[in-house]
């Protein structure tokens, strides 16, 4: 796990342990045509909280956290007509304390 992933893990751990739910959702969508980028964020109980993540974070960081056992995919959806339209619901295993 690199430093960026450790920061993300700490922020996820903090928000999940401060409330009752242990689930987060990754969402992404393309904002339109070029030059508009793909926008992605993480929600907890319907509210985005990933604006405090390092600027260059990506879905690969969450995949890495899943490999460590911190996250577990519960459900994934990808629009068959738009691969940028994606939702992934994760369970956070809070027993995997941040480093």
Other residues' Cβ atoms within 10 Å of the Cβ of residue 88? 21
Q: What percent of the chain clears pLDDT 90, i.e. is strictly above it?
A: 68
- pLDDT one-digit tens code per residue, 3-36: 999 999 999 999 999 888 999 999 998 877 667 6
Which three-class secondary structure state does DSSP give residue 30? strand
Range(s) of the domain holding residue 25: 3-92
For residue 99, pLDDT beyond 60: no
Establish if 77 belongs to a structural domain: yes
Say if CB 76 and CB 88 are below 8 A apart: yes
Measured CA to CA, the distance from residue 29 to residue 41 in angstroms comes to 9
Whether the per-residue pLDDT at 97 is higher than 60: the answer is no
Q: What band does 93 get if pLDDT is binned at 50, 70 and 90?
A: very high
Beta strands in 4-81 (DSSP E): 23-30, 38-44, 47-48, 71-79
99 within some domain: no
Per-residue DSSP letters for 42-54?
EEETTEE-GGGS-
Residue 55 has pLDDT above 60, yes or no: yes
Number of domains observed in the structure of the chain: 1
């Amino acid at each position: 796990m690199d430093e960026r992933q450790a920061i993300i893990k700490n922020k996820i751990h903090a928000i999940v342990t401060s409330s009752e739910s242990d689930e987060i959702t990754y969402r992404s969508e393309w904002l339109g045509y070029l030059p508009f980028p793909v926008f992605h964020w993480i929600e907890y109980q319907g509210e985005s909280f990933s604006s405090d993540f390092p600027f260059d974070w990506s879905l690969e960081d969450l995949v890495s956290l899943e490999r460590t056992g911190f996250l577990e995919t519960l459900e994934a959806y990808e629009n068959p007509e738009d691969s940028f339209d994606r939702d992934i619901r994760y369970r956070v295993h809070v027993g995997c304390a941040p480093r």
